[in-house]
Chains A and B, each alone.
Chain A
């Protein structure tokens, strides 16, 4: 299982990459493995306000459906349209081509919500499942 060191993580298995006041969000390698083949991702609408810890979409796989949680507060500025056409990108490249949406952070100082995990913390959280 891959847990890139530069990212932050939620206990609900999203990753978030912070670049200035913009956060990119996806689901983790652990999550895509647990879900199996992703067949559809319902992404938040452009311009939607998202709140850390609140559901903002869904990930459908063959066997199950899971809520997608926003790791941060802000406004959705971009969604990955390629995932609409090819949901398998989430399985093939969860931290790259399978990214899901980008958020303009409400707190422009880059103050992140409490509760986000470091890579080590997330690896620790999921190690029992390996």
Chain B
């Protein structure tokens, strides 16, 4: 039964393309998104071995513009955005006064007075509101421009080779964590060398009306390079193997950047105050309450989000993300662990004291360094 009171999920400029490709679609943060097109493991492997094409148009795009835009972001976020050069991008976070993470973000500096803030779909409205509010009386304004962009990601070792024939931009000059205006298949885009897969790749911020044309051009250009479309299921296992946190799993309002092992994104040496500074300064000095660790499951049963981690049979933490790793062929997981246990487990050569409670059975696991996977240099 369809309840007319329930809002239908939003469609992206590419949803019709996914439907034609026979994708399994899912409601993700209020958006109708491709979960997989065929086998998510095949999609995962394509990104590791050749390339995959993703629709990420659900991600939030918020512009912050004005003479005080850099100042406003320095106050609103934990990073030092006024130090970001035009054309560069930075991974950063927006925190609450108590230091809890409201979202993790990528910020692109488009010009001296214009920044593009990319937020998680579920947090876009909250981030937009916080940025507007935190701008205060500064001469800077935040606008939610999500509907004005489609976002297409081309990820994998062959991404640059696939993209090169479609643009006059010299791609070797487009370095990691930069974003610049470019023309792809005759369409103006913001071309960024960023991603969430652990591979080389590009993210293309396009006009919605150009999205189908660019998707088709990339699909055609990649046909000889084993490029296939990839859905959110593959994106999740790719980012997990790469040890990248996901908001709602590793990050949330009850987690500080320090808990997540990402204290380096907090820039205490930047000029002026910022939201969360006092609480974060305290956390930076204190012993960690918990540490984010990597686990490798020793059975075939998969530790999943929310499962308890056990040390000598006693609860010592929780799994935040877990999945069968297509690259490693074993279950992998990230978990928050008691710091003492994490230290003991690292020295536990026999490896028989750590386990995950998988629906009532203690399945053995061992501590492994993050990330689980790094791309060959």
Q: Which A residues have a C-beta under 8 Å from some C-beta of B?
A: 33, 36-37, 39-40, 42, 58, 60, 62-63, 65, 91
Enumerate B275-322 residues with CB–CB distance to A below 8 Å.
Answer: 300-302, 304
Is A39 a contact partner of B35 (Cβ separation < 8 A)? no
How far in angstroms is the closest Cβ of chain A from B199? 18
Q: Contacts of B36 on A, CB cut-off 8 Å?
A: 36
Known: A62-B237, A62-B324, A63-B233. A37 touches B41 (CB 8 A): yes
B30-72 contacts to A (CB < 8 Å): 35-36, 39-41
From A36, A40, A91, B301 is in contact (CB under 8 Å) with A40
Tell me what chain B mostly uses at the interface: helix, strand, loop, or mixed. mixed
Taken together as a complex, chains A and B put the C-alpha atoms of A62 and B323 apart, in Å, by: 6
Compute how far the CA of A42 lies from the CA of B302 in the bound complex, rounded to whole angstroms: 12
B39 and A37 form a contact (CB under 8 A): yes
Number of interface residues of B (CB under 8 A): 17
Measured between beta carbons, the chain B residues less than 8 angstroms from A58 are: 301, 359
List B residues at the A interface (Cβ < 8 Å).
24, 35-36, 39-41, 233, 236-237, 300-302, 304, 323-324, 326, 359
Chain A residue at smallest Cβ distance from B41: A37
A91 to B233, CA, bound (A): 16
Do the beta carbons of B24 and A33 come within 8 Å of each other?
A: yes
Interchain CB contact under 8 A, B324 and A39? yes
Verify B300–A39 contact, CB threshold 8 A.
Answer: yes
How far apart are the CA atoms of A91 and B40 in the complex, in Å? 12
Return B334 CB to nearest CB of chain A, in Å.
Answer: 16
Q: Select from chain B the residue with minimum beta-carbon distance to A33.
A: B24
Q: Which of B39, B300, B326 contacts A60 (CB 8 A)?
A: B300
Q: In the complex the two chains form, is A40's CB within 8 Å of B24's CB? A: no
Residues of A within 8 A of B304 (CB): 65
Determine whether the beta carbon of B302 is less than 8 Å from that of A36: no
A91–B324 CA distance with the chains assembled, in angstroms: 16
- Are the CB atoms of B40 and A36 closer together than 8 Å? yes
A-B residue pairs in contact (CB < 8 Å), sample of 12: A33-B24, A36-B40, A36-B233, A39-B300, A39-B302, A60-B324, A62-B233, A62-B323, A62-B326, A63-B35, A63-B233, A63-B323
Cβ contact within 8 Å between A36 and B35: yes
Given A37-B39, A37-B40, A62-B326, 8 extra CB contacts under 8 A: A36-B36, A37-B41, A39-B302, A39-B324, A40-B300, A62-B323, A63-B323, A65-B359
Q: Is the CB of A62 within 8 A of B41?
A: yes
Which residue of A33, A37, A40, A91 is within 8 Å of B302 (Cβ)?
A40
Listed residue (B237, B302, B323) with the most chain A CB atoms within 10 angstroms of its CB:
B302
Contacts of B326 in A (CB 8 A): 62
**B302-A60 in contact (CB<8A):** yes
Specify the chain B residue showing the minimal Cβ separation from A34: B24
| Least distance between A110 CB and chain B CB atoms (Å) | 34
Bound-state Cα–Cα, A37 to B326, Å: 10
Residue pair B324, A42 in contact (C-beta under 8 Å): no
Instruction: State A65–B331 Cα separation when bound (angstroms).
Output: 13
Q: Does B24 lie within 8 Å of A62, measured CB to CB?
A: no
- Cα of A40 to Cα of B300 in the assembled complex, Å: 7
A63 and B301 CA atoms in complex are apart in Å by 12
Given contacts A37-B41, A39-B324, contact A60 B35 (CB under 8 A): no
Return the 6 tightest CB-CB contacts between A and B, nearest first: A39-B324, A40-B300, A37-B41, A62-B40, A36-B40, A37-B39
Chain A residues in 8 Å Cβ range of B35: 36, 63
Across the interface, which residues of B come within 8 angstroms of A40, CB to CB?
300-302, 324
Residues in A neighbouring B233, C-beta threshold 8 A? 36, 62-63
Q: Which residues of A contact B359 (CB under 8 A)?
A: 58, 65
B1 nearest in chain A by CB position: A128
CA A62 – CA B304 in complex, angstroms?
10
Q: Hey, which chain B residues are within 8 Å of A65, CB to CB? A: 301-302, 304, 359
Q: How close is B64's CB to chain A, nearest CB, in angstroms?
A: 35
When chains A and B are docked, how far (Å) is the Cα of A95 from the Cα of B233?
A: 25
In the complex, the chain B residue whose C-beta lies closest to that of A91 is B39
Q: Which of B36, B304, B324, B359 has the most CB of A within 10 A?
A: B324
